[in-house]
Structures are given as C-alpha cells and as structure tokens.
Amino acid sequence: MANSREEQLRNNRRLARQLVGAVALILVVIGLFTVLNWCVAALRAALDDSDRRERYADRVYGLVMFDVVPFEDASQVDSSIFRQAAIWGIVYQAQKNGTLDDYERDAQTGSLILPQLEVDTYLTNLLGPDYPLVEGDFETEEFIYTYDEEKQGYLVPVTGSVGLYTPEVQRIWTEAGQTHVTVGYIPTLNNSTSGELSLTAPTEPIKNMDFIFSRGENRQWYLTALQESATQPETAATATPAPTAGMDNPQALVQDNLDSTMTDAAGSSAATDTQDQTAGDTTSAEDTAPAEDTAPAEDTTEGDTAPEETAPPEEGDTAASEPAE
C-alpha cells in the first residue's frame, strides 16, 4: 500500500510538471510571435513613409495647383503667389476634411470668407516665422482676391475646378543639410494653361519638381527653393494630353457631337431623297418622250396617204398619163 501511494504521488508530481512545462511552452511561443509582430510592425513603420509624404503633399498643394515657376530664394518671390497658394491649400484641406461648409459666405457674392489668420498660419508653417506677412487686396493671373476689412478675411471664389495639377510625392531625401522632396505633377481636367478643357487627362505625373526645405527655428523644415527635378517620368514626352480647343465643358462636347451626328444623318437622308426623285423624273421622261415623238408621225403618215385612197385619179387624167401608141 505504501509503495502504491508513493508511486501515485510521483505520478501526480510528474503530471503537474508536464502541465507546467506545456503552459510555459505555450507562453514562450506566444511571446515569440508577439515580439516578431512588433519587429515587423516597427520595420514596416520605418520603411513606410506614406504619412510623411502625405504631409509634404498637403504643404505644397497650393503651389503645385498653379504650377509656380522655379525659384532659388523664396524671399524673392512675389508675395501674391504664396498668398494664393495658401488660400487654395486651406480650401483643399477643408474640402478633404469635409469642413468647407463651416466657413462664412459673403451675402452679395456667395464667396467663401477665408480668415486672414488661417492664411498667415499656413504661410508661417510653409515659409517660416521670418517670412513677412501682408494683408489686403491682391491680384494674380487667375483671380482677383478682395480683402474684407470688417470680416478680416479674403473673399474666395470657390469653383469646381481651379488648379492645373495635383501633387504626388515621389521621393524624400536629405542632402547637404537640406530636405529634398520630389513631387510629381498629375494634370487635372483643366490642365491647360490656356484654360481649355481636356477629356483625356493622365493619371500619372507628367513632370517632377524638387521642393527644397531648410531647417529653421524649433528644428522645423521650411520651404526655401523650387527646382526642376533631375529625374523625370519616362512617359513625360507622351503623357501630355491634347486639350480640346474651344470647349468649356464635357456636356458641350457631347451635345455638339450629337448635333453633328443628327445633321449628318438629315443631310444624308435629304441627299438620298433628292437622288430618288431625280431618278424618277428621268424614268418618266424616258417613258413619255417616245409617245410624244411617234404620235405625230403616225398622224402625218395617215394624212399623207388619205388623198390617195379617197381621191382616185380621173379617167381623163389617167388617159393623159398613158403613153400614146
């Protein structure tokens, strides 16, 4: 009995050790998988800079929209260019976040009233705190911006299509203490500098530009220059769409094509009817012409032979006509 009881106790202790070992092994496996997932997530986060690219795309959106010409020093650029870029950059962000309706509208024109404070904040974040801020009316090649002194904001004519391009950040790298951001320019429908509409706008960038940022106060990066990128899309030579001349909107193009098709069909039908009528007239002329020509001939012949049948020669005349024997 004693041996039996001791053996049972040993078996219980052995079973307990086995259970503890199995639980420990499971925990170790779970821990390994957890650590592995953490490493993969950290590596993915280190390699994936999509959030950073999106932030830079938002910062330069207004400049890309209007295809600002390259510059070597931001302080030498006309302030109206940056103010226009700031206005439409803010409008884009509001549309993206669904907050555009939160802005006040002008009662007379219906234009959006964009506060001067937001424009100044945008310019400070883009160009740095040392950039001089101005206010008041200003004019660009695209729009005239009126400043409302009472509302302390700009009247923005928000329309359906404004910019020529949208940005797509291709690459971000640091060189000589500056951050270079290569941005691809993707044309919009209204992608012609003449304002013409294209129905075949490409979905890939047709050119690249390098936005150069330098470190300023609080270790922040601010835009200092804009250059043409050394790396250009391979399809840049063939991707530029041919704008549709003289066309203001797609509906007009469709309507004109429809009208043209209907006009051609009507002209073709009229030409066919004319040909049929001409052929009918020719056939009638051919059928009736012989009757008009032959009827008088038959009447004339009968008229010429009638005297011979109805008026026989007299005997005297016949005798006179016979030769003398």
Identify the residue with better confidence: 17 or 213: 213
Out of 120, 145, 163, a domain closes at 163
Is residue 20 assigned to a domain?
Answer: no
Tell me the residue range of the domain where 90 lies.
66-163
Is residue 98 assigned to a domain?
Answer: yes
Q: Is there a single domain that holds both residue 139 and residue 186?
A: no
- What is the tens place of the pLDDT at every residue in 100-125? 889 999 988 889 999 999 999 999 99
Out of 115, 132, 163, a domain closes at 163
Is residue 95 assigned to a domain?
Answer: yes
Mean pLDDT of 89-102: 90
Sheet of 112-115, strand order: 112-115, 153-156, 144-148, 138-139
Q: Is there a single domain that holds both residue 245 and residue 182?
A: yes
Q: Is there a single domain that holds both residue 152 and residue 195?
A: no
Single pTM value for the model? 0.58
- What is the tens place of the pLDDT at every residue in 139-198? 988 888 999 999 999 999 876 567 889 999 999 999 989 999 999 999 987 664 444 445
Tokens describing residue 178: 């500056």
Strands (E), the chain: 112-115, 138-139, 144-148, 153-156, 165-175, 178-187, 207-215, 221-228
Q: Is there a single domain that holds both residue 124 and residue 101?
A: yes
Domain count, the chain: 2
Is residue 227 assigned to a domain?
Answer: yes
Is residue 172 assigned to a domain?
Answer: yes
Q: Is there a single domain that holds both residue 95 and residue 155?
A: yes
Is residue 79 assigned to a domain?
Answer: yes
Q: Is there a single domain that holds both residue 139 and residue 210?
A: no
Is residue 300 assigned to a domain?
Answer: no
Q: Is there a single domain that holds both residue 135 and residue 212?
A: no
| Separation CA 74–CA 82 (nearest Å) | 9
